[in-house]
Amino acid sequence: MPRESALKLLLHNRTGMVGVVIIVFFGLMALLAPYIAGPSPAQTYVTGPWAVPAWATAFPQYWGLPPNLEAAPPSLTQWAGAAGRGAGYEMVQVQPPPALVSKTGYSAPSAYAALISAAVPPGSEDVVYTANYTFNYRYRPPYEFKFGALVEPLSVDNISDFYLRFLLVKPDGQVVHLTSYSVMSSSFEEDISYNNGFRLGNWNVVYLSTTLPDVNLAALGPSGLGMTNTGLKYLDENGNYTLVVQVVALGGSSPGSLKVELAYPFLFVYGRQYGLLGSDNRGRDLWSQFVWGSRISMEVGLLASIFTVIVGMYLGVISGAFGGLVDETLMRIADIFLVIPFLPLAIILVFMITQSAFLAKELYLWLIVLFAVLSWPAVARVIRSQTLTVKERGYVEAARALGAGRGHIISRHILPNIMSLVYANLALNVPGFILTEAALDFLFPGASTVPTWGRMLSKAFDYASSAIYYNFGWWWFIFPGIAIVLLSLSFVLLGYALDEIFNPRLRRR
């Protein structure tokens, strides 16, 4: 059948066109992944853990869930500032240092910082500078939030230490101590003081989160050490909250002085609603994982099917066209491969590949090779049967009688007449490879760091017990599951359509 006629029939075949539309959709998604995916699929805390998709807030049970919120502005000119006893300050413009973005993921334009100079009496604990910012919070409580600031010590003379104190004043007047010098001044997890990590003449990032035990210990006492989702306790009311940042100096044995710059205070609320597909248990963007996962499914499914059909086609044609010992040998080899249990052998081989770091780097290349090696016999048998039929037709006999060789007969008469079967097999083999790849990723989620739909399902299954608390985390598993089904179904529909187009008896029916 001419290609133009086949294409015209496909365009008028509703079943085939449904398959084509789905394939094109996922194909474009795979091609455009770098441009539409968003944050890195491995980046944690892009938003809050277990965030529902943003569109889900249209349903009553998700009303009022907070999105990602920058609750405090980066420039201290928008804060209420006050110097302490024996201290003074001035506002200076600064650029955000790279450390702010690289460590916190928080970016901001140039802003105004407080340049603080203070005389510190001996043996005292003085608040040399206080900055307050009041913000209105009108959402349901978040699971977690992060906060902090940048500090640059310029000169530190004759004082025991200085540190940053963070307080949160709730709408009812309750004061929450988010930091504690006694708890954190010797901590290995966070730096809030000069003696515990601040470097002189450098910008230092104070980056704290309610995921840290020390923050919860400072705010809630010993009961806070084992608690999770403590943001539910800190921002549990609607109304005006005040974030307070203080620079506190501890006097030494003689009068001292301190000169320090404070900049970019922040309080970032991790959302409980986010993006198109929400987030996982570590706040990673599931849309990004979903988009990048489409690449693996498309690549493995299509390439494995192409290689399988090419190998099966040529071996099937050779077997049918040559006959005799060649046919017998190839078919006995095919029989051996056909009795090998496919999935158990694939599991064993993938396990062996993952034991080598060198081989595991190209895991999906090995999967494509494995699928092609184990799957060609079925295609070869189908093609051989068709070849045996074609080579007995009158025009082939006539060509043979005129002296045409096997090569001419195969290229000019057999191959053109089996291509319809090849196209149908090409489409119909893809779903099996997509499902098998997803199954192997589900069974070996640690085999690769590349995001795939199967790996998404595996991780969702691993945290299924935790998901009960978070509305079962339905958004984590339902979309990759639907995508696997749709993509597999699309190739089945396309395969059936091609079979109908190239098979006159089916087309008449």
Least confident of 57-66, 186-195, 397-406, 441-450: 397-406
d(Cα 13, Cα 427) in Å, to the nearest integer?
16
Which amino acid is present at 371?
F
Query: Mapped to the 3 state alphabet, what secondary structure does 334-387 carry?
Result: HHHHHCCCHHHHHHHHHHHHHCCHHHHCCHHHHHHHHHHHHHHHHHHHHHHHHH
Q: How much is the pLDDT for 3?
A: 57
Would you say residue 2 has pLDDT above 60? no
Angle at CA of residue 419, ends 416 and 425, nearest 5°: 165
Q: By three-state DSSP, how is residue 139 classified?
A: coil
CA atoms within 13 A on the CB side of 49: 18
Both 137 and 248 in one domain: the answer is yes
| Residue percentage of the chain with pLDDT more than 90 | 60
Render pLDDT for 432-485 as a digit per residue (tens, 0 to 9): 999 999 998 888 887 788 899 999 999 999 888 788 888 889 999 999 999 999
Q: What is the pLDDT of residue 109?
A: 73
Picking from 237, 269, 301, the residue at the C-terminal end of a domain is: 269
Terminal Cα-to-Cα distance of the chain (whole angstroms): 18
56 in any annotated domain: no
Asked whether residue 27 falls in the same domain as residue 170, the answer is no
63 domain residue, yes or no: no
What's the domain range around 113?
69-269
Over 80: is that where the pLDDT of 325 sits? yes
pLDDT of residue 443: 87
What confidence tens digit (pLDDT) does each residue in 473-505 have? 999 999 999 999 999 999 999 888 887 777 655
Is the same domain home to 74 and 24?
no
pLDDT band at 389 (very low <50, low <70, confident <90, very high): confident
Whether residues 339 and 430 fall in one domain: yes
Q: In this structure, are 14 and 81 located in the same domain?
A: no
DSSP element (H, E) containing 168: strand 159-169
> Does residue 52 fall inside a structural domain?
no
When the pLDDT of each residue in the chain is averaged and rounded to a whole number, the result is 89
Position 107 confidence tier, pLDDT thresholds 50, 70, 90: low
- Domain boundary at 218, 238, 269, which? 269
Q: What's 57's DSSP letter?
A: G
Average pLDDT score over residue span 253-276: 94
Read off φ and ψ for residue 267, nearest 5 degrees.
-140, 115
Q: Which of 13-27, 90-104, 283-297 is least confident?
A: 90-104
Looking at the structure, do residues 336 and 434 belong to the same domain, yes or no?
yes
pLDDT at residue 483 in the model: 95
What's residue 95's pLDDT?
80
Highest mean pLDDT among 1-5, 285-289, 494-498: 285-289
Residue-wise pLDDT for 24-55, tens only, equals 999 999 999 999 998 999 999 999 999 999 99
Q: Is pLDDT at 157 greater than 80 in this prediction? A: yes
Q: Which domain CATH number covers 194?
A: 2.60.120.260
Query: Does the structure show a pLDDT above 70 at 361?
Result: yes
* Domain end call among 269, 300, 328: 269
Residue 261 shares a structural domain with residue 318: no
Query: Does one domain contain both 455 and 497?
Result: yes
Taking alpha carbons only, the member of 248, 251, 259, 247 closest to residue 121 is 251
Within a domain: 60: no
- 258 and 319 assigned to the same domain: no
Based on the fold, state whether residues 404 and 483 are members of the same structural domain.
yes
**53 belongs to a structural domain:** no
Q: Are residues 26 and 115 in the same domain?
A: no
pLDDT band at 234 (very low <50, low <70, confident <90, very high): very high
Listed in sequence order, the residues at least 6 apart from 299 whose beta carbon sits closer than 8 Å to its beta carbon are 30, 364, 368
CATH code for the domain of 447? 1.10.3720.10
Give the span between the Cα atoms of 75 and 236, in whole angstroms.
Answer: 26
Give the pLDDT band (50/70/90) at residue 100: low
Q: Are 470 and 446 in contact (CB under 8 A)?
A: no
Q: How many domains does the chain have?
A: 2
Whether 429 maps to a domain, the answer reads: yes
**Residue 6: both structure tokens together:** 């086949």
Residue 442 within a domain: yes
Which residues are bridge partners to 248 per DSSP?
127, 163
pTM here is 0.87
58 in a domain, yes or no? no
The amino acid at residue 494 is L
Clarify whether residues 433 and 470 are in a common domain.
yes
Query: How far apart, in whole angstroms, are the C-alpha atoms of residue 436 and residue 304?
Result: 11
Dihedral sign (CA 43, 48, 53, 54): negative
Residue range 209-224, pLDDT digits in tens:
999 999 999 999 998 8
Instruction: Write down the pLDDT at residue 41.
Output: 93
